[in-house]
Structure 1
């Protein structure tokens, strides 16, 4: 690869990092706290690439110039497909990742969890719900109606509400799932985002079923994908 091509690649990669860092697409790859590092990395790459390009242009003008400008134009043309790859962001991890990755919950031991807040319907993350369903010996979920947000995935005849969990970036993502009891969720295709209310069936989140509790659904509402599709 010629030096001109390497410099252009550096600028494109840095520009792509700045783009996804500013428009929110970086949330498909890393946690929100990583945004400053994404922006800083992109800015450094763009600056380094731009300095190198300016230096090369000056060097070309200083010599006899035979053929050099044609090489630079060729390098730019070669970068067009690379530009398309860098600037078209793939979708967030969804139902396909759930079926290919073993569902699991954060490691815990049996304990009495704090009671849920007062209210007819309590909003919970899937992390909190699955952890309580699997390890709360005090039964804080019993008889309580909760509100969950996630996407639909169908697996082995069951309809699951899922959310991908990341500790650092999308490379270490794994799913948490809740089984939707009843026919309500079956009407929605994979990767449909839903807001679901219902009650957890006690004792259904076990190691044998990979800590996937059953939820008796009370209501379902279709929603847009959240700006940050992952939990942490």
Structure 2
């Protein structure tokens, strides 16, 4: 790929990153705290691309015949260079969705610890709004002690459980989507019958029932659902 083609790819990639950070689409790929680093990297790419194009577009002395010869022999290289711009252009125009039910079906649950931990009581007042990870830890490793007798509210998307029934799930990130791991909560009672990746907010009660994840043999706790409502996907879809 020649220099102008490289500059255009950098410009498109930098523009795609800037667009993603401006519209919050970047939250589909990385955690919120990485936004300043993304903006800095995008600006650096755009600046480098502009400087390269400015240099290449200047009139420079040289042998015209030699440049024509290089153009003739490098024609196929130029075509490849244009093709390499397509992924960057696609990223600029089309934003891939966040990780969802497909990841849940292919990856084991994040609840892989074995030790029991005592958790502090939940804050007063029902419903107690918990993340799926916090509910999972309290349900499995604290044996539901702090969950008993409380109304719990969880938010996540619908995926298919090990028993073929709908379950609630959400993806946990350590840094970016490449290291995303699902947290899975089984459902009983008034279970939402919705397509996979539908976002819901459920209210219910802890029950002493668990299942095994067939992928990594981890625990899947359950919730007895009393009520639920379908919601729009949140801006920050990862826990």
TM-score by length of 2: 0.85
2:107 is the counterpart of 1:101: yes
1:111 Cα shift? 2.3
Equivalent residue in structure 2 for 1:164, among 164, 171, 192: 171
Equivalent residue in structure 1 for 2:89, among 84, 91, 100: 84
2:46 is the counterpart of 1:41: no
Q: Which residues of 2 match residues 1-232 of structure 1 at below 5 A?
A: 1-60=1-60, 62=61, 81-87=86-92, 88-105=94-111, 107=113, 109-137=115-143, 139-155=145-161, 156-185=163-192, 187-204=193-210, 210-231=218-239
Between the aligned partners of 1:200 and 1:89, the Cα distance in structure 2 is 37
Task: Count how many residue pairs are aligned between Structure 1 and Structure 2.
Answer: 228
SS of structure 2 residue aligned to 1:43:
helix
Check 1:210–1:181 CA distance in 2 against 1; reply closer, same or farther (3 A cut).
same
TM-score by length of 1: 0.88
1:202 Cα shift? 2.3
SS of structure 2 residue aligned to 1:21:
helix
Between the aligned partners of 1:207 and 1:157, the Cα distance in structure 2 is 12
Which blocks of at least 5 consecutive residues in structure 2 are unaligned? Answer: none
1:182 Cα shift? 2.7
Check 1:13–1:215 CA distance in 2 against 1; reply closer, same or farther (3 A cut).
same
1:18 Cα shift? 1.0
Between the aligned partners of 2:213 and 2:95, the Cα distance in structure 1 is 36
